[in-house]
Amino acid sequence: MFRSDREGRRAAGAGDGKPGIPTVPPRAAELLALLPRPALRWALQRLVAGVGRRHPDLFERLGEHASATFLIDPTDLPVAVRLWPRPEGPQVEIVGRPVLRSAWHARIAGPLAALLGMIHGRLDGDALFFSRDLAIEGDTEAVLALRNALDDAELDLPDEAAACLGPLSPLVARPAGLVVPLAERMTGVALSRAGRPPL
């Protein structure tokens, strides 16, 4: 699904020999645009709500910034995500582009692989911002608070997604433990947390 910088997009420190951040090929992004947004939102909302239940400290750590509206903007996808990280119940919305500046307080933008790498602790957030693989706009203190909260939570999205299935989660977790590492090797994308135990 992903392609490397050699196949034609941006890289961290382009031109200095550093490896690039993989990006979603345009054709794959176009296919994603065909998926019904209500279904995507339902799945993402279920994931975020589950994270909120299993990691209540994550959103509580945001303090005053918990009332902010965050725009998570994967620049190689046709949609972005608005996040309201309220401790009483986080909410998400999938939005198309362009997104009005008045619709968010803080924006984090970059390739999907960079965002996943930061969430999973596999890529250093400071390095991503310094190299401009990730960009921030708006309330920078809110962005820093969110990043610190994510670091402390040590999320592993495959585990979180499996947990959303309740009693069925073991049926998904076992094959995911085989598929996720293979997908990581094929794409170069941090689809899970570093040093995670087998599912």
Domain-wise residue ranges, the chain: 5-155
Residue type, 141: E
| C-alpha closest to that of 76 among 130, 25, 122 | 25
Q: Which sign, positive or negative, has the C-alpha torsion 87, 88, 89, 91?
A: negative
Q: Cα separation of 199 and 185, whole Å? A: 17
Going across the sheet that includes 106-110, the strands are: 91-96, 79-84, 70-74, 106-110, 135-138
pTM: 0.84
CATH of 5-155, one of 3.90.930.60, 3.40.50.720, 3.90.1150.10, 3.30.1050.10: 3.30.1050.10
pLDDT at 18: 42
pLDDT at 82: 97
Going residue by residue through the chain (199 aa), what tens digit of pLDDT does each one get?
A: 555 444 443 433 333 334 589 999 999 999 988 999 999 999 999 999 999 999 988 888 899 999 999 999 999 999 999 999 988 889 999 999 889 999 999 999 999 999 999 999 999 988 999 999 999 999 999 999 999 999 999 999 999 998 988 887 787 777 888 888 898 988 889 999 865 544 4
pLDDT at 19: 57
Residue type, 88: E
pLDDT at 60: 85
pLDDT at 2: 58
